[in-house]
Amino acid sequence: MTAFRSLLLIAAAPMALGAHAATAQDMDAQTKSKAEAALSADADASAEPSRADGKPEIGTFGFDEQGMNRDIAPGDDFYGYANGTWAATTTIPADKSNYGMFTALADLSQERVKNVLDAAKGDPDNKIGRAYASYLDSDAVEAKGLAPIKPWLGKIAALDNKEDYALLLVDAARNGVRGPVAGYVGQDDKNPETYIFNMYQGGLGLPDRDYYLGDSERFADIRAKYIAHLTKMFELAGEANGAARAQAIFDMEKQIAEAHWTKEDSSDATKTYNKMTVAELQAMTPGFDIAAMLKATSPQIEELIVAQPSAVQGIAGIIGNADLAVLKDQLMIRSLDNLSDVLPEAISNESFAFYGTTLNGTPEREVRWKRGVNFTEDVLGEEVGKEYAAEYFPAPTKAAMNELVDNVLAAMGRRIQGLEWMQPQTKERALAKLANFTTKIGYPDRWKDYSAVEIKTDDLFGNQIRGNNFQYADNISKLGQPIRRYEWGMLPQTVNAYANFGMNEIVFPAAILQPPFFDPNADPAVNYGGIGAVIGHEISHHFDDQGSKYDENGRLSDWWTPEDVAAFNKASKALVAQYDQYEPLPGEFVKGEFTLGENIGDLAGLTVAYDAYKTALNGEEAPVIDGFTGDERFFLAWAQVWRRNYRESNLSQRLNTDPHSPSEQRAWVVRNLDKWYDAFDPKTDSKLYLAPDERVRIW
């Protein structure tokens, strides 16, 4: 459950028993500062990934000085000092829930993928071209109406017993429809050389249990609008008595929410490792034929890991006591929502109205070609990524990135060796873990084979279903097979990075290796403060509150001494308390415990990247550029990558569901670094000032 952490929250890949609805991707900005203009795709997207004239893409040294607000003291709000003018002058586009550096690069990536797909769509022999063309043909989608999904809805309607309901949930998962429990095949955390089936809690149409149980006015309003959305979906499906049926679904889901574990407990690698046999699980869940469901998933499943046993037990009891009609209705509405993007606009617009606008505040849907890009990537992601990488990821970038990674890894090693709180035997194991790291940069060495996926130009819905079926089957087929260490969890065109604890790896897709994160022509301080800190962030995830539970072989084990654990927990608690005090919205605070792993990643990543930067200077003093010292440029680069404006609804949802702190608070992590104080000399009465003994130091 916790063996994978990314730099930024993104939708997870569909899982075997818990496929998710595709989330709306952020689109183009209407108003862009100098930095955004530098990040935007050219009209023909024919420019090389880095400039040939040797100048940085952004500003004179890789940082957008025009976006600063020098009227704000860096010690009062370092984010505002570095980004204040940008924040005040940048409008969030109508089809975005937030906008910043990540989304600007995502726009660029999307434009480039569009060029790849435009070149392919006229070729009948090109699979990605056919998939893209099928999405662009909106007239065909509207003409077919709900006919493509009606056989599936008819299968749900024909259910007359709960035994068949359990089996139908497997078909639902294959089709990309979420059920009351979810699952996937992944590494066994305590035996990482083998695959095992993992099961976890599901069954909610709202993002988290708090949306059902919280007593705030915001949650109450969302609940009312959710019931209205369910009612509308019944109407669009031609079903009667929608309001009463919607209320019944909500009432059942509220019961499920009460059984759910909290997100803090669900993020704990130790608490969520609960291995049991299928027979043991079935004995816990007498009201639901979970054994039959698992056998239909794969006869090879004899034992599994259940992340939240009491929740799964509670959900099974709710299913056992529920009216079959309500279970069927929930599965029908979930099917319409999860597959809405390949259904007529009436359905897809209604689904977006709730999940895009109500929950995230996004006023408008993205234009169809952009949704078509997202669809094609969803169905044939690495097939698209292969073309993207060949066109837009030059070999010199990979070589330069390898050098940066090596420098930051070396800095982390020096940090570990110099720790006063870590015992010698633990240091030895930690250094062994560091030495065992695998680094993946740009794109996979081995691409996924999509030859089994049939794609038809005139069958958008079928393409989605066949794509989902392929992903499901591919995941389940891992059981009993060697670990796929070549496999990637993100696409090359994804603007993100991640750490995989079980694989003991750090991964950096091609699309993030661009300004403002990385620019071969930028000042080294900017590259170390940008992508260098990202590298450090992903490295440090392997030593954060959860990653530190995995040893040098990727095995979940107790390899720290009690003294180490106590020292680490003391520093962690201080960081939790620090973030708990932040109030991005009135009455809504950052959840320090929930965001701890990512906050440790930011703190450690920036600390280690700074050490690597200073080492790279080979004892020489960095030049002053535009009045900024090297250290100032390093910290400004960190703040620049977190530029982001949020819609209030999106920020509120993130505070409840995103394990990352908001961007402003991520920039503020600098208040824990002594070198930031040396660089900007904040006064003792500054808002961000911490006395030396209050600064959190972990790595």
pLDDT tens per residue, range 240-251: 999 999 999 999
29 band by pLDDT with thresholds 50, 70 and 90: very low
Q: Would you say residue 306 has pLDDT above 60? A: yes
Based on the domain organization, do 252 and 379 belong to the same domain?
Answer: no
Q: CA–CA separation, 98 vs 656, rounded Å?
A: 16
Domain assignment present for residue 313? The answer is yes
Q: Tokens for 686? A: 């500054």
Based on the domain organization, do 105 and 155 belong to the same domain?
Answer: no
Q: 350-361 in b/e burial notation, b at 16+ Cβ within 10 A?
A: bbbbbbbbbbbb
Domain assignment present for residue 524? The answer is yes
Domain assignment present for residue 256? The answer is yes
Using a pLDDT cut of 70, give the percent of the chain over it: 94
Most confident listed range (120-129, 392-401, 643-652): 643-652
Q: CA–CA separation, 323 vs 248, rounded Å?
A: 9
Instruction: State the Cα torsion 539-541-544-548 to the nearest 10°.
Output: -80
Q: CA–CA separation, 520 vs 509, rounded Å?
A: 16
Based on the domain organization, do 391 and 487 belong to the same domain?
Answer: yes
Mean pLDDT, residues 607-623: 97
Domain assignment present for residue 43? The answer is no
- Using the 3D structure, point to which of 294, 314, 338 is the last residue of a domain: 338
- Using the 3D structure, point to which of 338, 356, 380 is the last residue of a domain: 338
Query: For 332-379, what is each residue's pLDDT tens digit?
Result: 999 999 999 999 999 999 999 999 999 999 999 999 999 999 999 999
Query: For 109-134, what is each residue's pLDDT tens digit?
Result: 999 999 999 999 989 899 999 999 99
Based on the domain organization, do 434 and 565 belong to the same domain?
Answer: yes
- Using the 3D structure, point to which of 338, 359, 387 is the last residue of a domain: 338
Token look-up 């600064």 returns 695
Based on the domain organization, do 195 and 311 belong to the same domain?
Answer: yes
Based on the domain organization, do 578 and 526 belong to the same domain?
Answer: yes
pLDDT attached to residue 6: 84
Q: Would you say residue 659 has pLDDT above 50? A: yes
Based on the domain organization, do 540 and 633 belong to the same domain?
Answer: yes
Per the prediction, the chain carries an average pLDDT of 93
CATH number for the domain spanning 208: value is 1.10.1380.10
pLDDT attached to residue 25: 28
Mean pLDDT, residues 599-622: 97
Contact 556, 273 (CB under 8 A): yes
Q: Would you say residue 46 has pLDDT above 60? A: no
pLDDT attached to residue 12: 39
Domain assignment present for residue 264? The answer is yes
Q: CA–CA separation, 83 vs 336, rounded Å?
A: 41
Q: Would you say residue 678 has pLDDT above 80? A: yes
pLDDT attached to residue 44: 33
pLDDT attached to residue 10: 58
CATH number for the domain spanning 539: value is 3.40.390.10
Q: CA–CA separation, 341 vs 365, rounded Å?
A: 11
Domain assignment present for residue 141? The answer is no
**Domain span at 513:** 70-114+372-694
Mean pLDDT, residues 209-216: 96
Based on the domain organization, do 265 and 378 belong to the same domain?
Answer: no
52 band by pLDDT with thresholds 50, 70 and 90: low
Q: CA–CA separation, 393 vs 116, rounded Å?
A: 14
Domain assignment present for residue 410? The answer is yes
Counting the structural domains of the chain, the total is: 2
32 band by pLDDT with thresholds 50, 70 and 90: very low
Surface-to-core class of residue 613, CB atoms within 10 Å of its CB (0-12 exposed, 13-18 middle, 19+ buried): buried
pLDDT attached to residue 17: 47
First-residue to last-residue Cα distance in the chain: 25
Q: Is the dihedral of CA 475, 477, 480, 481 positive or negative?
A: negative
Based on the domain organization, do 80 and 155 belong to the same domain?
Answer: no
**Cβ neighbours of residue 29 closer than 8 Å, sequence gap 6 or more:** 36, 90, 91, 92, 93, 96, 99, 103, 104, 107
Query: For 524-569, what is each residue's pLDDT tens digit?
Result: 999 999 999 999 999 999 999 999 999 999 999 999 999 999 999 9
Using a pLDDT cut of 90, give the percent of the chain over it: 91
Based on the domain organization, do 182 and 288 belong to the same domain?
Answer: yes
Smallest CA-to-CA distance from 212 within 228, 232, 230, 226 is with 226
Q: Would you say residue 312 has pLDDT above 60? A: yes
pLDDT attached to residue 588: 96
pLDDT attached to residue 33: 34
Mean pLDDT, residues 78-97: 97
Based on the domain organization, do 572 and 638 belong to the same domain?
Answer: yes
Q: Would you say residue 138 has pLDDT above 60? A: yes
Based on the domain organization, do 535 and 613 belong to the same domain?
Answer: yes
Q: CA–CA separation, 166 vs 180, rounded Å?
A: 10
Q: Would you say residue 34 has pLDDT above 90? A: no
**Cβ neighbours of residue 478 closer than 8 Å, sequence gap 6 or more:** 185, 195, 484
Smallest CA-to-CA distance from 626 within 523, 533, 516 is with 523
Domain assignment present for residue 473? The answer is yes
Query: For 458-489, what is each residue's pLDDT tens digit?
Result: 999 999 999 999 999 999 999 999 999 999 99
